[in-house]
Chains A and B, each alone.
Chain A
Amino acid sequence: MNPPNTDLTERSHLALEDAILQGALKRATDTFIERRRDAVATVPDWEGLRTRARQVKEHTINHLDYYLEQLVEKVTTLGGQVYWAHTGDDVNRYIIELARARGVKSVVKAKSMTTEEIELNHALEAAGVRPIETDLGEYIIQLAHEKPSHIIVPAIHKTREQISDLFEEKLKAGRPRGVSEITAMARARLRDEFLSAGMGITGANFAIAETGTIVLVENEGNIRLSTQVPKIHVAVVGIEKVIPRFEDLSVFLRLLPRSGTGQKLTAYTSFLNGPRVEDVFALDENPHAAGDGNGQRATEQRGSTQQPHEFHLILMDNGRTNILADKQMRESLYCIRCGACLNVCPVYQKIGGQAYGWIYPGPIGAIISPQLQGLEKAAELPFASSLCGACRDACPVAINIPDLLLALRSKVREERGGKLSESLGIRGLSMVGRHPLLFRMAGKIARGLAGLLAKDGRIQSVPLSPLNKWTRYRDLPAPSGGSFAKWWKDQGADD
């Protein structure tokens, strides 16, 4: 649990000191990296797929208005209802009103970063509607009142012992011993919830403009249950999730599972095409119905009971149009939330998800959190990177994350300046760097000072200086000999 009012340095420190978390992060990231590598090897032209995926995303995002309008039209034709939400509060308000109008007491939820972004659960609880997370990892952290530490495996920071303790305390049905009993206990408890919930809420991995189809991937089956059992299905979807055509799925469905978990396909891939037809007619009489619901009577068809009676698609902005407006930062919206960048990031591998302070961790979090939350809250994140570029290599849509981090750093400096010692230092470098003689003199002075501090060829401490942050953890080499320029001059034209 993050203590309030901490900064990234403090939160990272806590993470680095947490031996259990360190072990869990190492195991998780090593495993996902290996599985991803094996899965990528099963695709003959992985680079070709990535290129195509990025091309599709770029095209879609650059014409987002067109594709969103097409999506909405198709979903509405299928009998779904669409709400365009400007903010997260709008989403929460819509869902609460819908729940109240239908007498919904409990809601089963699939894992959705989007709903965590807007704190939907909190809003539902405040309104007297009980939200139940059904993905096992999310269920665990919901019981523990914690935030997720990884996009794919949110409770990876907890041991099975900790989880058994948690279940014993909260579920009061005995203490499960071992992973299978934990799973079995969750299955039984949640099965009852699925069967009695009045509403299922999910996000979406993809929303197809051409057909109005919502696509969701999962391994547990909780999404299938949440979308097929309760009478109402609500999908909360960021506006950037739309892709143009159904056939584009053959590219994205080969990239997403392999990148996220190293699977060719997850256990279940759901393609949802709206609610039952005959019930769309019934909605005309309903006060919360879409304004332009079908006026015609549905023909007397006995249809599938597979689909819920109502389907509501909530398209959410919540700051995404601000990202869209910046031509360079726009590619942040290509993200398909696979989690591959987290696993390969040397910083994430050490500090885990909670240290990032918000919902989206890792390299993609370092880019979108400052943009969605605002620089006041997340200005540090873009600087907490060594810019190694491993994230860009792993990203299935080839987002140029390091470049975006650099762009954000520049933005932060422009809008908020930097620490005095740093900005003075950089300005000093810039000034001296334009005058070669000054530059060499500065170098000579620095080497001289360093020589004073050195012992046995190394410097272990540089008191009263930001360099002390280096020497706290590492030695500095003592300068040996002079500068290259001096060496060059000394050997003259003799060679």
Chain B
Amino acid sequence: MVSTLRRLGVEVVYNEAQTCCGQPAFNSGYRKEARALAEHFVNVFERERADFIVAPSGSCTAMVRNFYGELFHGKGDEQRRRALERVRLRLREFSEFIVKELKVEDVGARFAGRVTYHDACHLLRELNIAEEPRRLIRAVRDVEFVEMEAPDTCCGFGGTFSVKYGEISSAILDEKLARLSRSGVEYVIANDSSCLMQIAGGLSRAGSAIKTMHLAELLAQQ
């Protein structure tokens, strides 16, 4: 992601104090713990003087944009809410940043391969981002982009759900794998590491030749 952004003329800084946005805690119902992590996140990024905060993850972006508000809804939280706003206003998901802020679709990447795109649920439904990743992929030189059946259906990850209800998660994944194999592609691209881990895990266990690739990885190819 960094190399692509730099190639597009963006000055990138990385704040080493960052840790975790807290989504695993929040999604498992541990709001106190999630809030502690959220406070840290806001503290770290609020002090950033950068124009934008770019995240290569739809679910992290959604967590901050759509759910942090719920964690800071108490009476004594006004200051925190203001700090959160300052962070939220500058936060962008990676593909959203390139297409909507930099107004670029061709990032100068080249990759010869037959690829398809999987819509990560939070990216699609919490952030309404569906077109931007596709435009970026299509603009990659030599790439052959194919839509698979029902790209917008869940891969079955769902955080701790994948472990708590592993058998169901795996059955859902099997549907996704079947659609992937019917699509005849060599690579499946997604913009979320969790989805990629789930899908890659299944492809690997099934001995499939299809490979996964994060969108940022694809766009960095030259």
Contact = CB atoms under 8 A, between A and B. Distances in A.
Contacts of B197: 476-477
A383 B17 CA distance: 31
Among the interface residues B158, B168, B197, B201, which one has the most CB atoms of the partner chain A within 10 A? Answer: B168
B165 A9 contact: yes
A387 B166 contact: no
Contacts of B201: 470, 473-477
Contact of B27 (A387, A388, A423, A429): A387
Contact of B159 (A387, A389, A467): A387
A409 B29 contact: yes
B107 interface: no
Contact of B168 (A347, A414, A429): A347
B16 A485 contact: yes
Contacts of B32: 430
A140 B202 CA distance: 39
Given A386-B161, A409-B28, A495-B6, A472 B121 contact: no
A12 interface: yes
Interface residue SS majority, chain B: helix
A16 B167 contact: yes
Contacts, number: 177
Interface in B147-202: 153-154, 156-173, 175, 197-198, 200-202
B162 A434 contact: no
B205 interface: yes
Interface stretch (B18-26, B76-84, B89-97, B137-145): B18-26
Interface residue SS majority, chain A: helix
Size category, A interface? 35 or more
Contacts of A123: none
Interface string A374-393: 00000000011111111011
B17 A436 contact: yes
A406 interface: yes
Interface in A438-495: 439, 458, 460, 466-467, 469-470, 472-477, 484-485, 488-489, 495
Interface residues of B, number: 58
A448 B55 CA distance: 25
A412 interface: yes
Given A383-B161, A439-B20, 20 more contacts: A16-B171, A350-B171, A387-B158, A390-B121, A390-B153, A406-B67, A410-B29, A410-B31, A411-B29, A413-B30, A423-B30, A429-B33, A432-B19, A434-B39, A436-B18, A469-B164, A475-B200, A475-B201, A475-B202, A488-B2
28 contacts: A8-B165, A346-B172, A349-B172, A349-B175, A350-B171, A383-B160, A383-B161, A384-B161, A385-B161, A387-B27, A387-B121, A388-B154, A389-B121, A413-B28, A413-B30, A414-B29, A418-B28, A426-B28, A426-B33, A427-B30, A430-B36, A434-B40, A467-B163, A470-B166, A473-B166, A473-B201, A477-B204, A485-B14
